[in-house]
Amino acid sequence: MVNDGARVRRRSINRDLRKTLSRSRTNAGIHGKLHAETIVIGGGVIGCAIAYELAARGQDVLLLERARIAEGASCAAAGMIAADSEHFSSPMMANLATMSRQLLHEQCEQLSSLSGMHIGFQQNGFITPVRLEKDLNSDSTATAPRSITSEIWWDVIKAQQKAPWLSKNIYGAYYRPLECDVLPVNLTQAYAKSAQALGARIIEGVHHVNLRVDANGVQGVETSIGTMTCRNVIVANGLQGEVLMKQAGLQLPTMPVKGEIAAVQFSDHSGQLAPDKTVYAEDIYIVPKANGEVWIGATVLQGNLIYMFQLPGYKNCLNVLPAGYLALQKLSLYGHGPE
């Protein structure tokens, strides 16, 4: 239940939102205010979500991003919230994923209210096809107990009834109805704008970020626009985070992992061949998005730092699909993330 005070506060926030978000994001106007309780380094979905959470709890937050919000790995993520489908290394990680999915449910309305953005949230469930009977028990996602509501088995007949666009050459499929997806750039920007609406400051285009460390620990950061002091620093800048962690005497080995996605649109005559649920398999994912596109990914290249979409990856994405019913109308997406 929302009390009257909360309603008044929300109306006040929404009234001032356009003014707050229309202010220049350049470095002008930030000088002279280079202190914060917490500095967050990195303007991807993780950094922006942290800034939002801390600002919502009343902290003075300053987020630094070297380019633009959501221009790194977050702009090329598939946006799948795969708590029941992902391969986790431990039950603890699986439980954390389930908690994260529930938290996103709870945040959707507030993010939309504060930011004025549509994050493309959908809960249509994920399908994991099983090609052969011998593969039935090889599903290694079961790192946490599954309930009858979180995982449902479909034989091939049921699978064809529920998803006629699936190949008929499968043994069956797992359907996990609680899984959901978002538009990752929209989500990241919604976190950033909501954090700003709650008082957080965001500076884009900040380069040469280094930690200020003395005998008492981390005291702040040195950047291309000056020195910034704080009580806490949160490193959330992906691959570059390893360097910063070393400056604080911490070892966090990372490896670049390149994922490649093709964004396509189905022709008007596709009919029942257009997927309406995400396919989440070992060698492919097919994600129908809220913006009308279908995102197809089929490559994970460890150690690859080539910042372009490569032809072999593009072919790999499309070769897994039945030929002849896709109308390609969109450029591909690509990005890197740490592992």
> Is the pLDDT confidence value at 272 over 90?
no
Give per-residue pLDDT as tens, 22-63.
Answer: 333 444 445 545 899 999 999 999 999 999 999 999 999 999
**What is the mean pLDDT of the segment spanning 144-150?**
57
When the pLDDT of each residue in the chain is averaged and rounded to a whole number, the result is: 80
**Highest mean predicted confidence (pLDDT) among 223-227, 256-260, 303-307:** 223-227
Q: Which residues lie below 8 Å from residue 264, measured CB to CB, with a gap of 6+?
A: 293, 294, 295, 296, 326, 327, 328, 329, 330
Distances (CA, A) of 83 to 122, 163, 178, 246: 14, 21, 9, 31
* Least confident range of 35-49, 236-250, 279-293, 300-314: 300-314
- d(CA 134, CA 272) in angstroms, rounded, equals 29
**pTM, two decimal places:** 0.82
Extract the tokens encoding 270.
Answer: 């596709």
Q: Check residue 122 and report its DSSP letter.
A: B
Q: Which residues lie below 8 Å from residue 217, measured CB to CB, with a gap of 6+?
A: 248
**Highest mean predicted confidence (pLDDT) among 2-16, 28-42, 173-187:** 173-187
- d(CA 123, CA 214) in angstroms, rounded, equals 48
Cα 188 to the center of its chain, rounded Å: 7
pLDDT at 239: 86
Give per-residue pLDDT as tens, 53-75.
Answer: 999 999 999 999 999 999 988 98
**What is the mean pLDDT of the segment spanning 188-197?**
98
Extract the tokens encoding 213.
Answer: 């460390």
- d(CA 260, CA 25) in angstroms, rounded, equals 30
Looking at the chain, the whole-number percentage of residues with pLDDT higher than 90 is 53
Nearest Cα residue to 41 out of 251, 250, 239, 190: 239
Give per-residue pLDDT as tens, 76-122.
Answer: 889 999 999 988 888 999 999 999 999 999 999 999 999 999 999 99
